[in-house]
Structure 1
Amino acid sequence: MLLHPPPASLTHTFTHTSDGPPLYRSTSMDARLSASLLAGLVFLLHGYTAWAVVEVSMEDRVEVYKGDTAQITCMFTSDEGIGGLIIQWFYVLRTGEKKNIYYQDATMQVVERNTQFTDRIMVNVTAATGEVVLTIANVQLIDQLEFICLIKSLTDGVSEGRTKLLVFEKPDFPTIEGVQTGVLADEDTLSKIGSCEVKNGFPKPNITWYRNNAPLRVSDVVSVVASTTIESSGLFSVRSELNLKVMKEDKDARFYCEVTYLVPGGTRMTETNHISITVYYPSTAVHVWVESPKGKIKEGDSIIFNCHGNGNMASSVSIKHGTTEYNVESNMLVLENVTRLQSGDYECISTDVNTFEELSGNTTVFVNYLDPVVVLPSYVEMAQGEEWTATCNALSSLQTHTAWFKDGQEVSTGHILMLTDVTFDTAGTYKCVVSVPEIDGMEKMATLQVHVKGAPEIMKPEHTDIEESVSSTVDLTCHVRGFPAPSVIWTTADGKILETTSQTEMDDSVHSIVSVEVTSDLTAFCNASNEYGADALAYKIKAKGNGVIIVVIIICILLLAILGSVLYFLYKKGKICGRSGKQDLTKEKSSKDNIVVEMKSDTEDAVLLGVNGEKLPSSNQ
């Protein structure tokens, strides 16, 4: 729909009819009024004898966000067609004065100039449904006004409706800030807890304080001070400060603000982050306890004591054990590598730095112990077949368990170890481990060294017959048991002594290695001896040929056989000189070194052949 601008200058007056509200007129609109009167005369000539009835209905409000587009609908009914109606839109100033923004009759549609709506409105009229819609683009806060739709028939039937345009703006996310310093509990005056702020909302948002999900209401122990700021944009910013009579229980309280604000069609709510405050309150009792280790304590542990009052006011703390007094830092005392002498009562004393009032608490500590293990005897030398008994004991504050181990395997339990009918297998190191089952890791140990005297005994390997290739090197090993440790010598069958490559000697065993280069069949002996006897072990080494050489020889033989067959075949065919009818002539060395003479037996003609088998002319013969 095209919008026609009004005349450049308008002087506004209002006239009253006997049966209706004031009507808007302009001295520059005489032509329009004349046209209206002419239209009225036309209706009178058509025989209308009764006043036309016009009825208008509108919603009481239209709600829209700032910056959006608003549509205000005016519904009407009339006995006359749309061409016989005058439509006007007004808005009402806060002073109550009406301002015209739009005029329409059968001949024109005019948007009033120089108003806040001049460039932002349009009007659509639908005669079939009786709707007149005023559309306002880019709604601003100043547009929150009351709008009047006035419809008048040419026969002076008139009706109007009113709608309030409400504008909304969602506020920014609210913020909360708690006090940075601590608050004393049980004070006679209220203490500041914190402040909440929400900015740029319209209409004005509302702030409610909560403590542990329960709203705080103003009372003699709760004070809420709110302030409102109207920003240059016209939006509202609200700040709220909470003051409270703080109790000790508030040390665990969570405070936050709930902000409620209006939106088109309803109300919305948002919450700030939650904050807590530091509440200071004096101690009424002191508690001291062992923080670590949990459970029973053993010698060598580090003990951590904690000493705390049930308040949090500043205080100095010390811990006494007998005549010894320890300084405590951060309510904690660490005693490292404790012994049984540190068992007993420990008293923690807390002194208020302001009132010097002392409070104390006590705890008792017992340090369990396990004395060193004693094994009797700790060293034994026995002959094979003998018996021996060893004992193992350790003094402890708790029940103990004793076990004997050899080579990582448990061989006996209890304080006594019985060794009977001993052999070389019996020899070795025995560990006696005494442990306290009630305390994990509390154990000590001692050893028993057992030697079994006897002639050397060579541990026979799995294979003593060995095949090795000629020119290779083989390592021979010899493991000998015996006590005292035997001496080991390597020899060959003809009595030659072999140089030992490496040898490891222990109290009752020797491990020897010799490296032998294989040139032919060989027998090597490991000879072991001590004061109780001797033992020997023979290694038989069989030298075998190199497989690669054998294959090469076989191939050469096959090639020679093939060559012989070829030569024989050529001989039989007469291709080789020396057979009757043919003879080889060796020409004297001359400039024709590359010429061979072949004599044919049937014609006896001589033909000269070149190196490549080509016939040469007779002039070259």
Structure 2
Amino acid sequence: DARTFVCQVGEGSHVMGENQTRLHVYKVPEAPEIVASSGGASVQSSEIPEIARCVSRNSFPPPNITWHKNGEQLQLEENMVKMPFTLTRESSGLYTVSSTLFAHVTREDRNSLYHCSVHYWLRGQRRTVESRRVNITVFYPAEHVKLQVMPSSALVKEGDDVQLVCEADGNPAPVFSFFKRGLDDIWHDLSSLADTNSGVLNLHDVNKSSSGLYRCQTLDLDDMRQLEKDVELVVNWKPRIVAISSPLYVRQDEVVNLTCKAIAFPRPSVHWNVNGTAHEYVENQHIASNLTVRVSHDLLRAGAMCRVSNALGVSEKHIQLLDQKIQESKGVIIVVIIVCILVVAVLGSVIYFLHKKGKIACGRAGKQDM
């Protein structure tokens, strides 16, 4: 029915005048339907990837379709943005219009929202109907990797279960590998203990030997790019005294050094129960305390106590002091006894030898008298 109508005025076959009018028929289009690309789009694609398709049905006259990203209308751009348009006249005389958006994407487009708009005329006014917003899956390689200890490294103590969590900012997630640096500076592969898909390395019942430098390495299977990140795991443990100068032989009023060595992390404090001048030496997790003290009668009798402590616990050991004079007198007595035994043994051997050779006359006379 959309056509021009003519009105003529006349007499017989003679036309006196005429006028015409145009009848416009409008059919409001249906709301546009948008379908995002199910395959997603890669930032590394050499071809322009498909973003979404838009369709509007049953309109007259045919409307136009525009595309928008984050609310801003997109324009055609050579080798960057394409929006091919299709117009179909149905048997009913109404039109179906469709358009497909092709556009290169960036990492930031993982959060972008796309929609299409259908524009049509109604009674001389331009109207617009918008589709819903859609988001597409964007694939991009990792640029950064993060490795952290869970729970916080400052809280890890012996016996804890620890996770090393590796995260990369790529999509899809890359393949994760884990390593630990040995004492020989060689990296030992721990990937067999890890979930290489989720990027988690589980360490159970850790001890001080679990401390060290760990590395997470990522591999992007698309471009074979590798990234890596290191983290230091420090296992805290309570003090253990590993050496003391005990027993220690001293003389009263003598100035001596008492030694106490321990290992712990964090660094412990060392306390003595006697007064003196203390000097501490620290190397890695080892600490040694030397106490210079004058030996008194009370110290000789009671000994000294070394106490090592940190936030995780306490370790104590007693240092025994022995009087060196008593020790020396005991040694002299033992030497005298040994000498006496040796002399008796030698004399006995001589007498026995002479008796066998018949050199002792009193022995034979005694036998004859009997």
Q: How does 1:387-402 map to 2 (within 5 A)?
A: 397=266
Q: Partner of 1:232: helix, strand, or coil?
A: coil
Matched with 1:162 is: 20
AA of the residue aligned to 1:321: K
CA change 1:151–1:243 in 2 (3 A) is same
| Alignment partners' CA distance in 2, 1:196 and 1:287 | 40
Residue of structure 2 in register with 1:308 after alignment: 167
Contact 2:26–2:61 (CA<8 Å) still a contact in 1?
yes
Alignment-derived partner of residue 175 in structure 1: 33
Per-residue deviation, 1:398: 7.5
Measured after TM superposition, the shift of residue 219 of structure 1 is 1.7
Query: Could you say if the C-alpha distance between residues 303 and 260 of structure 1 is closer, same or farther in structure 2, counting changes exceeding 3 Å?
Result: farther
- Alpha-carbon distance in 2 for matches of 1:253, 1:278: 10
Cα 1:336–1:201 change in 2 (3 A) is farther
Out of 67, 76, 95, which is 1:218 matched to?
76
The alpha-carbon deviation at position 177 of structure 1 amounts to 1.3
**Are residue 259 (structure 1) and residue 118 (structure 2) matched?**
yes
- Provide TM-score, normalisation by structure 1: 0.35
Aligned match of 1:293: 151
Mapped pair 1:351 → 2:219: yes
Counterpart amino acid of residue 365 in structure 1: L
Deviations, residues 111-155 of structure 1 (Å, cap 9, x unaligned): xxxxxxxxxxxxxxxxxxxxxxxxxxxxxxxx212233455699x
Structure 1 residues 354 and 245: alpha-carbon distance in aligned structure 2, compared to 1, 3 A threshold: closer
Larger CA Rg, structure 1 vs 2: 1
**Unaligned 5+ runs, structure 1:** 1-142, 373-394, 401-433, 437-442, 446-621
**Contact preservation (8 Å) 2:10, 2:16:** yes
Whether the 8 Å CA contact 2:4–2:21 is kept in 1: the answer is yes
**Which one of 72, 88, 92 corresponds to residue 229 of structure 1?**
88
The question of whether the paired residues in 2 share the 8 Å contact of 1:368 and 1:398 is answered with no
Is the Cα contact below 8 Å between 1:211 and 1:255 reproduced in 2?
yes
Instruction: Kindly report which structure 2 residues correspond to 1:358-437, keeping only aligned pairs within 5 A, or say none.
Output: 358-370=226-238, 397=266
Measure, in 1, the Cα distance between the counterparts of 2:22 and 2:160: 82
In structure 1, the partner of 2:51 is: 193
Counterparts of residues 567-586 of structure 1 (less than 5 Å): none
Preserved contact between residue 146 and residue 168 of structure 2 (Cα < 8 Å): yes
CA distance in 2, matches of 1:216, 1:285: 31
SS state of the match for residue 108, structure 2? helix
Tell me, yes or no, if structure 1 residue 283 matches structure 2 residue 142: yes
1:435-584 equivalence runs, <5 A: none
Aligned in 2, Cα 1:346/1:268: closer, same or farther, shift over 3 Å? same
Question: Shift in Å at residue 260 of structure 1?
Answer: 1.4
1:203 paired residue number: 61
Q: Give the 3-state SS of the residue equivalent to 1:168 in structure 2.
A: coil
- Count of aligned positions: 240
Q: Which residue identity does 2:266 align to in structure 1?
A: S
User: For the structure 1 residues 263 and 315, does the alpha-carbon distance in structure 2 shift closer, same or farther, using more than 3 Å as the test?
Assistant: same
What is the CA-CA distance between 1:169 and the residue it aligns to? 1.4
Q: Distance in 2 between matches of 1:204 and 1:153?
A: 42
Within 2, Cα distance between the matches of 1:304 and 1:211?
Answer: 40
Tell me what 2:210 maps to: 342
What is the deviation of 1:255? 1.7
Structure 2 Cα separation of the partners of residues 268 and 303 of structure 1 = 61
Deviations 1:501-546 (A, max 9, x none): xxxxxxxxxxxxxxxxxxxxxxxxxxxxxxxxxxxxxxxxxxxxxx
CA contact 1:314–1:353 (8 Å) conserved in 2: no
Pair 1:205–1:398, CA change in 2 (3 A) = farther
Match in the other structure for 1:244: 103
Inter-partner Cα distance in structure 1 for 2:60 and 2:161: 65
Give 1:277 deviation, angstroms.
2.4
C-alpha deviation, 1:166, in angstroms: 1.3
CA 317–144 in structure 1, closer or farther in 2 if over 3 Å, else same: same
Could you tell me how far 1:227 is from its partner in structure 2? 0.6
- Partner amino acid, structure 2, of 1:222: V
Q: Which has the higher contact order (CA 8 A, sep 6+)?
A: 2
- Computed over aligned residues only, the root mean square deviation of the Cα atoms, in angstroms, reads 3.4
Contact 2:2 2:24 in 1 (8 A): yes
CA distance in 1, matches of 2:204, 2:224: 31
Percentage identity across paired residues of the two chains: 29
Separation (CA, whole Å) in 2 of partners of 1:294 and 1:206: 58
Instruction: Indicate conservation of the 8 Å contact 1:145/1:165, yes or no.
Output: yes
1:272-305 C-alpha deviation (Å, 9 max, x unpaired)? 2222222323334433223x32573232544333
- Alignment deviations for residues 401-444 of structure 1 (CA, whole Å, 9 cap, x no partner): xxxxxxxxxxxxxxxxxxxxxxxxxxxxxxxxx995xxxxxx88
**Do residues 325 (structure 1) and 168 (structure 2) align?**
no
Distance in structure 2 (CA, Å) of the matches to 1:314 and 1:149: 74
Measure how far apart 1:197 and its partner are.
0.7
- Corresponding residue number in structure 1 for 2:346: none
| 1:301–1:213 distance in 2 versus 1, CA, 3 Å | farther
Distance 1:353 1:297 in 2: 36
CA distance in 2, matches of 1:272, 1:347: 48
* Dislocated runs of 4+, deviation >6 Å: none
Structure 2: tracts of 5 or more residues without a match: 182-187, 241-263, 270-308, 315-370
TM norm structure 2: 0.56
Tell which deviates more after alignment, 359-368 or 278-287.
Answer: 278-287
Give the residue type in structure 2 aligned to 1:397: P
Listed as ranges, the matches of 1:80-119 within 5 Å are none
Which digits, 9 at most, give the CA deviation of each residue in 1:455-494, with x for residues without a partner? Answer: xxxxxxxxxxxxxxxxxxxxxxxxxxxxxxxxxxxxxxxx
Deviation at 1:348, TM superposition (A): 0.6
